[in-house]
Amino acid sequence: MYNIDKKYPKVYIVILSWNNYEDTKECLESLRNISYPNYKVVVVDNGSKDDSTKKNQQEFPEHIYIYIKENSGFSGGNNPAIEYSLKAGADYVLMLNNDTTVEPDFLDFLVKGFNEDKNIGITAPKMNYYYQPKMIWVAGGKISKIRGCGVAFGNKAKDEEKKYNVDKFITYVSGCCILVKKEVFEKIGLWDELYYSYADDFDFCQKTINAGFKILYVAKSKIYHKIAVTNKKENPLSVTYYSARNRLYFSKKLLGGWFYVSVFYFFAVHIPKFLIWLIRGKINEILATIDGANDFFNNRMGRNRKYY
C-alpha cells in the first residue's frame, strides 16, 4: 500500500484541548478505531481552567500529555507538541482539532497521498459538518491575495458531488486537520505564534508553497468537525477580532505588494458591513473589528485578553 521508504511512517497526532473534556474524549475515542498502525497521540492542555485534560488522561492513559500553564492560542499550543514529536522521530505530524471525529481509514489515505508527488509537503482530508455528516464544511481551498486570506472550497456542498471526490493540489487547507511532512518544519519552522488564533493556517500554507512544497487535498480521507465550539462558548467576538487583525498581518508579512490590494478590499467590504451591523444593533462586532485593525497597525500582536 505504501511506496515510501518505510511501510508505515511514524505519525504523531497533536490535539489541542482547552476546557472541553467531552469534545476531546469523543475525538480520542474515534482515534482508537483508526486502522493506521504506526501513530502516537500527543494531547496538549492549553491552559485549561478545569480538570478536563486530567480526566481525559485517566481515560486514555496510552497517550502523551503536555500541560501548558496559560492559553497560548493555536500556534503556541501546537508548537511544543510539534517539537516533541519531531525529536521523538516523527515522519509526519498531524494537527487535529479536538472538536472533531475521524473515519477509521482517514490517516491511511492521508499518508498514502504523499506517494502522488515527491514534492508534497502537506495532505488534508475532506472535512464535513459533524451535525450534518453528508454536508461538506471544507474540501481544500486556495489563498486569495486580493482578500488576504484562505478561501475554502465546497462549503455546504453535498458530500457526493463529483468535483469534491477527486484528489487535487490546493494552496490552502484549514488548520483543523493538516498532515505535515517533517521536512516542511525543517525548512520553514513552526507556526507563527504572533497570530495567537486564526489566520495562522494561511501563513503556514503560504510559507509551505513558497518553500517549494505542494499541498494535496485527499478526497477519500474524511473527518467531521463541530466548528469552533470552544471559542464560541468562551467569547463569540474572538473570531471577529482575530480574523480582522490577522488577515492584515498575513497580507503584509507574506503577500508583498498584494498587501495594499488586500487592505483596500478589507475596508471596502467592512464599511458596508458596519452599516448593516449598526442597523442590527451589533455594535460589539463593529468595535471588535476596529480593535483588530487598530492593533495590527500599531503592531500589537499575540494574545489580546479582551477577546480570549
- Which residues neighbour 220 within 8 Å (Cβ) at sequence distance 6 or greater? 105, 109, 126, 165
From 171, 198, 228, the end of a domain falls on 228
- CA 50 distance to own-chain centroid: 24
From 203, 228, 253, the end of a domain falls on 228
Domain count, the chain: 2
CA distance 19 to 207: 31
Supply the CATH number for residue 141's domain. Answer: 3.90.550.60
Domain-embedded: residue 2 = no
Q: Give yes or no: residues 158 and 266 share one domain.
A: no
Q: Give the residue numbers spanning the domain of 81.
A: 11-228
Q: What is the pTM of this model?
A: 0.93
CA distance 275 to 58: 51
Domain-embedded: residue 6 = no
**Cα angle: 102, vertex 105, 109; to 5 degrees:** 110
Q: At what angle do helices 258-279 and 283-297 cross, to 10 degrees?
A: 160
Domain-embedded: residue 177 = yes
According to the model, what pLDDT value does residue 234 have? 54
Q: Give yes or no: residues 53 and 173 share one domain.
A: yes
Distances (CA, A) of 96 to 2, 90, 137: 23, 16, 15
Nearest one of 246, 242, 294, 290 to 270, comparing CA atoms: 290
According to the model, what pLDDT value does residue 229 have? 44
Q: Give yes or no: residues 16 and 77 share one domain.
A: yes
**Cα angle: 165, vertex 140, 235; to 5 degrees:** 130
According to the model, what pLDDT value does residue 3 have? 46
CA distance 38 to 90: 10
pLDDT one digit per residue (tens) for the chain, 308 residues: 444 446 899 999 999 999 889 999 999 999 999 999 999 999 999 999 899 999 999 999 999 999 999 999 999 999 999 999 999 999 999 999 999 999 999 999 999 999 999 999 999 999 999 999 999 999 999 999 999 999 999 999 999 999 999 999 999 999 999 999 999 999 999 999 999 999 999 999 999 999 999 999 999 999 999 985 444 455 679 999 999 999 999 999 999 999 999 999 999 999 999 999 999 999 999 999 999 999 999 999 999 999 97
- CA 299 distance to own-chain centroid: 24
From 228, 252, 284, the end of a domain falls on 228
